[in-house]
Structure 1
Amino acid sequence: MTATHGEHPAPGGDAFTPVRTTDYHTAGEPFRIVTGGLPPVPGDTVAERCATAIGPGGSGTAPRRGALDDVRRLLVQEPRGHAGMYGGFVVPPDDDGAHFGVLFWHKDGYSTACGHGTMALGAWAVDSGLVAAPHDGDAQVRIDVPSGRVTATVHRAEGRTTGVTFRNVPARVTARKVPVATSFGVAEVDLAHAGACYASVAARDLGLGTGREALPALVRAGQEIRAALAAHPGTWHPDGPLLSGVYGVILYEELPDTPFGPHQRNVTVFGDGQIDRSPCGSGTSARLALLAEDGRLGAHEDLLHESVAGTVFTGRVLGYAGSGEPAEGLVTEVTGTVHRTGEHVFVRDPHDVLGTGFAL
């Protein structure tokens, strides 16, 4: 089962195929799953389709304009969406080993990884009947994303979904204590790749907390750090520009450890200053790799990871990928809650002067 395709005109045309979505939130972060109304997306793999959607240059921002991006803008911009909206286009998988593929998108373009979105997709696949699930027990949903193949294990009890565990592509630490000058002072930044590149910095080193009152300052700091690291070699991925460059900046705060391991709260800033309402799924994988390298997270220990909204992910390290060499990266899992918020059929009135919407 993949998204249906329809005829879409160039921007400004008079016809627009209705777009069908099912919406979820994962620990507070929205995820809009497009199940119908997509134009064809050229490419033989999910990574190729993502590169096509982004266009020349390989960056996740400034996407190619056209029929596919008309749909993205329609769904993420006001009045149908908002600056914090996130979603995905369901596309064919790379091969029969996965149930389906997905292209992740947000206000400013596309991303190569999205842990909270993967968790929502797992719940949707079970809720929709695409993947069979037991009344009590677990169901695995395999999904091809631009950074590789990931798995969402959907936990069921008494016929309902009680949580989802996301197993990410391997996470690798690529740079430590990189000095970055910001308007709040010099930050020491750690870099890790976990499907996308994340920069981690202790908020207190910039004189900041991680509460809601600090959000404007955290966004500014995150944007400054991301811009400063644009050419740093630690942000580049061996598979090329699609997976390279800082995607998100994680500003974290240490909280008292639990009996099971570390406890942190974070604000993840991505795109052009968006704030992840969840603790950030792929970003949690990046934090796990850093904590494991520091010796703060061992076997059978969990990271309790809080968001600015007060929601929680639980993360753990399962071991090294592949043959067990550190260079191959760490296998991580992140568990959280997912809830459906609605189903929609979006249209564009040809007489609507706002077209696919606007952003403030």
Structure 2
Amino acid sequence: MTDPSGAATATDGRTRIPGPVRTIDYHTAGEPFRIVPAPPVPIPGATVAERRQRAIDDPDVDGLRRLLCFEPRGHADMYGGFVTPPDDDGAHLGVLFWHKDGFSTACGHGTIALGAWALRSGLVPADPSGVTDVVIDVPSGRVTARVRTGDDGRVREVDFVNVPSALVDAGVPVATSRGEIRVDLAWGGALYACVDAASAGLTVTPENLGELIALGREVKAALAGDARLEHPTDPRLSGLYGTIVVDDLGTSPDGGPHQRNVTIFADGQVDRSPCGSGTAARVAVLAATGRLGDGQVLVHDSIVGTRFRARVLERVTDEGRDAVVPVVTGVAHHVATSVFEVDPDDTLTPGFVLR
């Protein structure tokens, strides 16, 4: 059935699914990001963090997430964001990041895509200098997509300047089916457990993906309820978001580390990119342990061979602990402009996920 606004009501009679929804799809280093510039349902709240908290329990907002993420319109590894107003005039826009299991607190690859989209769409005028800051409010704080354009006005690359990131605890023992392993807990706008792949008898390669997903899920389950997962000041940011499994590939040309990773986040979701907020967490770990010096670059590869470069912008104190402000550099590409429609007779609304 439909109402006069053109929205369709789901078969459960409770979740209202909107009618035509326009999206702009990008990928950042291979990871999808589905931008919804004008979400057709209200997303109430005074701040982005508040909107996220309310969206989790809002059947209309969550129904829109499921519609655009679930099959047959999306897939288990789809990622996207609803553009919202910023918290105040100090930012250009806000965003609610989403995936198949809900709404995340941070997303670096999405921030890079939003920066490229903001210039391409004209939302933010390009600075004649060739460097344009797009300031974005996300649930974990205020971040910047520093967009670099060429003489032709086309986007060349984007620097993701993240919130302060920190090593939370190092060498935490975790029991797994592969034996006890040690993980480093690190904050990069979301909390990650970093695992050395070799310590679990693995390498970060596509043929090992099933085992890597299983390990990521095991680590997350084993750490559930650990007090170190609690955010020191904002409980809305608590919890372990994902597991980063890392191959050490030696050093980069400037003497910094060269690593490859796969990030398993939410419930078994796989990041095809080197993971933006996860790379920020890796910068925090490597800086805290002396492996990434000021002026050095972390060359960070993904499981599909794409690459981010990352460095320490500055060292700060945050939440009473030593932290860094990371800069993660990548590029995003436009792949589609779509209009999704809901057939009121479609029983697969909002959709399904097989895993």
Residues 284/344 of structure 1: CA separation in 2 closer, same or farther (3 Å cut)? same
1:38 aligned counterpart, secondary structure: coil
Residue 302 in 1 paired to residue 304 in 2?
no
Deviations 1:80-108 (A, max 9, x none): 11111000000110000000100000011
**Partner AA of 1:268 in structure 2:** T
Partner residue, 1:188: 182
**Partner AA of 1:174 in structure 2:** V
2:65 aligned counterpart, secondary structure: helix
Partners of 1:262 and 1:15 lie apart in 2 by 47
**Partner AA of 1:185 in structure 2:** G
Deviations 1:259-313 (A, max 9, x none): 2210000010001101100000000010001101111111110000000010000
**Partner AA of 1:33 in structure 2:** I
Deviations 1:314-336 (A, max 9, x none): 000122236x9972521110001
Partner residue, 2:216: 222
8 Å Cα contact 1:317/1:330 also seen in 2: yes
TM-score by length of 2: 0.94
Partners of 1:291 and 1:332 lie apart in 2 by 11
Partner residue, 1:104: 97
Residue 154 in 1 paired to residue 147 in 2?
yes
- Matching of residues 161-172 of structure 1 within 5 Å: 161-172=155-166
8 Å Cα contact 1:170/1:328 also seen in 2: no
Residues 350/10 of structure 1: CA separation in 2 closer, same or farther (3 Å cut)? closer
Partners of 1:44 and 1:134 lie apart in 2 by 30
Residue 342 in 1 paired to residue 336 in 2?
yes
**Partner AA of 1:289 in structure 2:** A
Partners of 2:186 and 2:32 lie apart in 1 by 24
Q: CA deviation at 1:239?
A: 2.7
Residues 238/325 of structure 1: CA separation in 2 closer, same or farther (3 Å cut)? closer
Partners of 2:273 and 2:225 lie apart in 1 by 28
Partner residue, 2:54: 52
Identity %: 56
Deviations 1:82-136 (A, max 9, x none): 1110000001100000001000000111100000000000000000001010466
TM-score by length of 1: 0.92
Q: CA deviation at 1:155?
A: 0.7
Partners of 2:157 and 2:305 lie apart in 1 by 17
Partner residue, 1:18: 20
Partners of 2:164 and 2:196 lie apart in 1 by 23
Q: CA deviation at 1:36?
A: 2.7
- Matching of residues 24-39 of structure 1 within 5 Å: 24-39=26-41
1:291 to 278, 286, 289: 286
2:336 aligned counterpart, secondary structure: strand
Partners of 1:292 and 1:202 lie apart in 2 by 17
Count of residues in Structure 1 that have an aligned counterpart in Structure 2: 345
Partners of 2:212 and 2:136 lie apart in 1 by 32
**Partner AA of 1:186 in structure 2:** E
1:210 to 187, 190, 204: 204
Deviations 1:22-55 (A, max 9, x none): 0100000000000234211111000000000123
1:258 to 242, 252, 256: 252
2:63 to 70, 87, 92: 70
Residue 83 in 1 paired to residue 85 in 2?
no
Partner residue, 1:124: 117
Residues 136/338 of structure 1: CA separation in 2 closer, same or farther (3 Å cut)? farther
**Partner AA of 1:206 in structure 2:** A
RMSD: 1.7
8 Å Cα contact 1:135/1:160 also seen in 2: no
Partner residue, 1:356: 350
8 Å Cα contact 2:181/2:200 also seen in 1: yes
Partners of 2:319 and 2:229 lie apart in 1 by 21
Q: For structure 2, which runs of at least 5 residues remain unmatched after alignment?
A: none
**Partner AA of 2:53 in structure 1:** A
Partners of 2:257 and 2:76 lie apart in 1 by 32
Partners of 2:231 and 2:9 lie apart in 1 by 34
Range moving further from structure 2, 79-88 or 232-241: 232-241
Partners of 1:170 and 1:94 lie apart in 2 by 19
1:272 to 264, 267, 271: 267
Q: For structure 1, which runs of at least 5 residues remain unmatched after alignment?
A: 1-5, 56-63
Runs of at least 4 residues of structure 1 off by over 2 A?
A: 6-17
Deviations 1:186-220 (A, max 9, x none): 11010011111010010110000100011100100
Residue 143 in 1 paired to residue 136 in 2?
yes
